[in-house]
Every structure is written in structure tokens, then in C-alpha cells.
Structure 1
């Protein structure tokens, strides 16, 4: 299975502000910023709970349409993620709710990030 994933972002500051806010309800924070002397001047940072699992990299070549789903500990965390992401400038792409067509206890919410990616928080716990 995957250990970590990365996404290219056009505006580091804008995307960092968005993800800082959207991830806070999930207990996810920026854990590592790679010094630019190691990246050729490109801004790179890793988000996670205990280790960097999700890396943002500033790039002129971003591409919309990717889907990233992040685990939440509760349905309330999914709700809080959705509200925080919308407040941080995201666009609603599916309000929090059950999606039994995916799985019996699948509770998720979807937001489009500043670069057009479909970002989701999901909880699989019953009720």
C-alpha cells in the first residue's frame, strides 16, 4: 500500500493556508518543510499526524482532477473538515453524508482545493 503521496500546487502560500485549515480538524499538521537548498529553490512540505504522509510541492505544472481521501476518526471530524476547507477557500464538491453505494458505513465530504483537486475526508466507523 501507499506510504505517502504528493501533489503539485501553483501557489505555495495559498495552498499551505488552505491545507493548514482543512487538515486541522483531522489532527493533521505540517510536519516538515524541506530546506530550499535541497530542492533547487522549490517549496516542499509534508503533512501528517506522526510522519509526513502528504507532500505539497510548488510547481508551475499543476494539474486538476486528482482525488485524495484522508481518514477521519469520526463523522464530526468529517463535518469539521468540510466546514474548515470551505472557509479556507475550497469549493463544495459533496456535503458531508453517508455514501452507502461505496460502503455501508462510508461517511465522507468532498471539497475542491485551490488547484482543482478533489480533496475528501472519510470515516468508516458506524454511526
Structure 2
């Protein structure tokens, strides 16, 4: 059984959220399904889902990183090149770079990642953290 079934995120402007999330989610291999007042992306035979909803209280946004609530969602990918590719896709879709792709030695010497933020203050990370090579 999956640890997480779905993640719902409220965004300030649903149309803008779709424009920013869709290229990334498609690049990660998710399929999009539109509903009347939301949009969802599915993966792995519908066992993983990310859903965007319009915000209920427009005066409440955008989210501010570091306050109570959302921190970030990390997408684990298979290579540094994939981190770079997804970061470029996010930039093209209007996300803001928080941290450009690089090694983060404070985690370990293999941890390569980038962080981006959308117009609603939602932060995501693309990361590659291969296992430590076995000692010979």
C-alpha cells in the first residue's frame, strides 16, 4: 500500500496553477484529468494523485514559505540531468527559482537538487540522491 494516496493543493488562480503545474507533472509521467472546479494528475495506475483546487479565501494567499503549513514537496528523479531538465521546464512555465540545481553537501555529497516556487507560494524540489557506492 502506498504511504500517500493523494495531495491536494489550493492555489490563488486555478488557471495559472494549471499552466504552471501541467508541464512539470506531464514531464514526470503523470496524466491529467480536469474536473469542474479542480484538476488532478494521476500516476501508477491511479495510486498517486496530485490535485489543484481554487483557494476558498482569496485574501489568504499566496502562501509564505516558512510559516505554519506547507513546506515543500520533493520529487525524486533518476539523474542530475533529470533535475536540470525539470528545473528548466519549471522556469519555462513561470515558476521562480529558489535554488538553482546544485549539490547540497549539508545533506550529503551526492544530493543534487533544485527548488522552485509558483505564483501561489507553493514550493517543490527536484532531487537526485543516489545510494552511496558500496565500499570495495
| TM-score range normalised by the length of the shorter chain | 0.7 to 0.9
Q: CA deviation at 1:100?
A: 2.5
Unaligned runs of 5+ in 2: 132-136
Q: CA deviation at 1:54?
A: 1.5
Output the TM-score relative to the length of structure 1. 0.79
- 1: distance between equivalents of 2:74 and 2:114? 9
Q: CA deviation at 1:89?
A: 0.8
For the pair shown, the structure with the greater C-alpha radius of gyration is 2
- CA gap of 1:28–1:106, structure 2 versus 1, over 3 A, is farther
Which residue matches 2:50?
54
CA RMSD of aligned residues (A): 2.2
- CA gap of 1:103–1:44, structure 2 versus 1, over 3 A, is farther
The structure 1 segments of at least 4 consecutive aligned residues displaced by more than 6 Å after TM superposition are none
Output the TM-score relative to the length of structure 2. 0.74
Q: CA deviation at 1:78?
A: 1.0
Residue 33, structure 1, aligned to residue 34, structure 2: yes
